[in-house]
A and B are shown apart, each in its own frame.
Chain A
Amino acid sequence: MMGALHRDIATIIIVGLALVVGGLVGTPYILGVLIIFGMVSILVLSYRTITTMGGWSFAHVAIMGIGGYSVAIFSKAPFEVPVLVAVALGGVFAALFAAILSWPVLRTRQYYFFLSTFAAGEALRQCFIQIKEITGGTAGIAFIARPGILPDPSSAFQFLWLVAVILVLLGLFYAALDASDTGKKIKAVGEDEALSSSLGIDAWALRALGFILGSFGAGIAGGLFASYNGIMSPSDINAMLMFKIVAACVIGGTARFSGPLLGLLFLTLIEEIFRFVPEFVPMIWGALVIAAIILSQRAGGGLKLRKVINA
């Protein structure tokens, strides 16, 4: 058991170091790819935590939007909160929203959970569009600052540093959770809810907790995205990003901590290899996801692919 934790800690530190080293030697283009990779890594790691409780949410990117808008709103007048503090606030708001949302959506399971979170995510996106006075409607909010804590806020490399540090910190948190008493119970509930409650595990609390702690990471990632892009608009909450997260978890498998990261690495490589024909990338991703699902069924493990990919 401790072996798994040590391996997960090593994984996340290696990913963080690789990002920084890659940024050091890479071209500006590669720098951009690495920053996106780091931020999406936060999304897939937090998403995996949600899947361990047994539900595949489709609201993750919309909840990420809460983090994005938090930074967009609170870093500006009249609040003028430091950007990093606003990012943290975004994580807290995302977690709070998940706590409220868990009351209705955790009543559903499996396909129904997928559908109800899809509906909740879409409703949230519509709110971002409709509440124009606060969110700027479809145009969104522009001129969002980079964190002032960086010596040179305009430097992409320094931003990459920041993303790597936050990724490692959050990764350590999720790895520790995974190996903890609570994390084990969350996974037990994900595996068999009725059995878990029959033994005295408060299944509802643990499913809610998995959803809330996972959504916290989504909020943080959203805040970083908004600060990096300098703009936050409803178009940032798109199905393609949601699909990328789910695909990374399907292809890499969620049984292990490192699975979704490997899945994301794989998807990113495909994206970059086929950069000259970007219109084909979604199709290739889709084919890979279907192939991964068929293979995992053959391996007899539902959506657990560790035998196939990261054995």
Chain B
Amino acid sequence: MLEVREISRAFGRLKAVEGVTLSVMKNQIRGLIGPNGSGKSTTMNLISGSLKPSAGKIELEGQRIEGKEPHRIARLGLIRTFQLTRVFTSGTLLDAVALGVRAASGSPWSPARWIPAGDQAEVNHAALVALERMGLAHRANELAGSLPGGLRRILTIATALAAKPKIMLLDEPLAGLNATEKAEVANRIEKLRTDDVSILLVEHDMRSVMRLCDRITVLNFGQVIAEGTPAEIGRHPDVIKAYLGQKRVRDA
């Protein structure tokens, strides 16, 4: 599905990401973890196109995507979410998700697209399906701006889902949520996999990472220091030393 090979990126003298290799198989949830500043966010930005890698290659279903503009990568089926919750808040939940549905449609330069096309019902239906999959359909007509934090996080995923991703990059979807909200969002993420969406998950909440992920890649100082199943990662001495410190993952 997604193959990242030896990508690197430096900011001045700082090598933020150096020779990172990872892959996400179809219907897999791949975790990407590491201490603060280990290069997780840079890696996400390199894959999604917000940053251009200085070396290495990235393939999405066999197609090279490194260095492409973010919207082109998104149209190929790789949709990311952001660490700081980003949602369209000017309308209802349905309006917000409908923009995800519309995102990939036709060229804006065609004057035929400058007049209402009467496709609103169709778009709304697709948006409602995405909301339903994330359990938000019953609030479709509420204002997106008035949604509490945890649900807002789910709304970002619903919006991304409406853009028909083959793979989603979720950047700390559980950060800042309380325990109930975390469990709710984690459950929704787990369900996505069964709906044919592969996931690359950056997350700090170890319990959720261990539970959700099929395989985990660990970064430190911009390099991959370990890769394996959650159980293997939990036992890995370098991981314990570098990242988990005294936290006893073995018990997790």
A-facing mask of B72-111, CB < 8 A → 1, else 0?
0011000111100011111000000011101111111100
The contact of B79 among A5, A184, A200, A213, by CB within 8 Å, is: A200
| Chain B nearest Cβ from A106, distance in angstroms | 14
Beta-carbon contact of B113 and A182 below 8 Å:
yes
| Chain A nearest Cβ from B225, distance in angstroms | 28
User: Cβ of A36 < 8 Å from any Cβ of B?
Assistant: no
**How many inter-chain residue pairs (CB < 8 Å) link A and B?**
101
Q: Given A184-B99, A194-B86, A206-B108, A200 and B74 touching (CB < 8 A)?
A: yes
Q: Complex Cα distance A205/B71, Å?
A: 11
Beta-carbon contact of B117 and A198 below 8 Å:
no
User: Cβ of A279 < 8 Å from any Cβ of B?
Assistant: no
Beta-carbon contact of A200 and B109 below 8 Å:
no
Interfacial residues of chain A within 146-191, with CB under 8 A of chain B in the complex: 173, 176-177, 179-188, 191
Beta-carbon contact of B115 and A180 below 8 Å:
yes
Q: Given A194-B82, A199-B79, A255-B90, A183 and B74 touching (CB < 8 A)?
A: no
Beta-carbon contact of B114 and A185 below 8 Å:
no
Beta-carbon contact of B69 and A182 below 8 Å:
no
Q: Complex Cα distance A2/B117, Å?
A: 11
| Chain B nearest Cβ from A26, distance in angstroms | 35
Contact residues in A for B80 (Cβ distance below 8 Å): 198
Q: Given A5-B116, A200-B71, A188 and B109 touching (CB < 8 A)?
A: no
User: Cβ of B195 < 8 Å from any Cβ of A?
Assistant: no
Q: How many residues of A contact B (CB 8 A)?
A: 33
Q: Given A183-B114, A191-B88, A202-B71, A209 and B109 touching (CB < 8 A)?
A: yes
Q: Complex Cα distance A206/B106, Å?
A: 12
Q: How many residues of B contact A (CB 8 A)?
A: 37
Q: Given A2-B120, A177-B114, A198 and B108 touching (CB < 8 A)?
A: no
Q: Complex Cα distance A177/B109, Å?
A: 12
User: Cβ of A203 < 8 Å from any Cβ of B?
Assistant: yes
Contact residues in B for A255 (Cβ distance below 8 Å): 90
The contact of B99 among A179, A199, A209, by CB within 8 Å, is: A199
Q: Complex Cα distance A203/B72, Å?
A: 11
Beta-carbon contact of A197 and B99 below 8 Å:
no
Q: Complex Cα distance A187/B108, Å?
A: 13
Contact residues in B for A188 (Cβ distance below 8 Å): 88, 99, 103
Q: Complex Cα distance A2/B120, Å?
A: 9
Contact residues in B for A203 (Cβ distance below 8 Å): 71
Residue of A nearest to B159 (CB): A199
Q: Complex Cα distance A311/B79, Å?
A: 36
The contact of A192 among B86, B98, B107, B116, by CB within 8 Å, is: B86
Q: Given A185-B108, A200-B75, A209-B108, A180 and B163 touching (CB < 8 A)?
A: no
Q: Complex Cα distance A203/B163, Å?
A: 15
User: Cβ of A1 < 8 Å from any Cβ of B?
Assistant: yes
Residue of B nearest to A213 (CB): B114
Contact residues in B for A202 (Cβ distance below 8 Å): 71, 108
Contact residues in A for B116 (Cβ distance below 8 Å): 2, 5, 176, 179-181
Interfacial residues of chain B within 107-147, with CB under 8 A of chain A in the complex: 107-109, 113-117, 119-120
Contact residues in B for A196 (Cβ distance below 8 Å): 71, 99, 103
| Chain B nearest Cβ from A199, distance in angstroms | 4
Residue of B nearest to A198 (CB): B80
Beta-carbon contact of B74 and A205 below 8 Å:
no
Beta-carbon contact of A197 and B117 below 8 Å:
no
Q: Given A2-B120, A181-B119, A209-B108, A199 and B114 touching (CB < 8 A)?
A: no
User: Cβ of B48 < 8 Å from any Cβ of A?
Assistant: yes
User: Cβ of A195 < 8 Å from any Cβ of B?
Assistant: yes
Q: Complex Cα distance A275/B85, Å?
A: 50
Beta-carbon contact of B71 and A195 below 8 Å:
no
Q: Complex Cα distance A185/B110, Å?
A: 14
A-facing mask of B223-249, CB < 8 A → 1, else 0?
000000000000000000000000000
Contact residues in A for B106 (Cβ distance below 8 Å): 181
| Chain A nearest Cβ from B206, distance in angstroms | 26
Contact residues in B for A200 (Cβ distance below 8 Å): 71, 74-75, 79, 103-104, 163
Beta-carbon contact of A198 and B99 below 8 Å:
no
B-facing mask of A206-221, CB < 8 A → 1, else 0?
1001000100000000
User: Apart from A185-B103, A199-B159, what are 10 other A-B pairs with CB-CB below 8 Å?
Assistant: A180-B117, A181-B106, A181-B119, A185-B108, A195-B82, A197-B69, A202-B71, A202-B108, A209-B108, A209-B109
A contacts, CB < 8 Å to B: 1-2, 5, 173, 176-177, 179-188, 191-192, 194-203, 205-206, 209, 213, 255
B contacts, CB < 8 Å to A: 48, 50, 69-71, 74-75, 79-82, 86-90, 98-100, 102-109, 113-117, 119-120, 159-160, 163
Closest 5 CB pairs of A and B: A200-B74, A199-B103, A200-B103, A195-B86, A197-B70
A-B contact pairs, 22 of them (CB 8 A): A173-B114, A176-B115, A180-B116, A181-B102, A181-B116, A181-B117, A185-B99, A185-B108, A188-B99, A192-B88, A195-B87, A195-B88, A198-B48, A198-B80, A198-B86, A199-B159, A199-B160, A199-B163, A200-B75, A201-B103, A205-B109, A209-B109
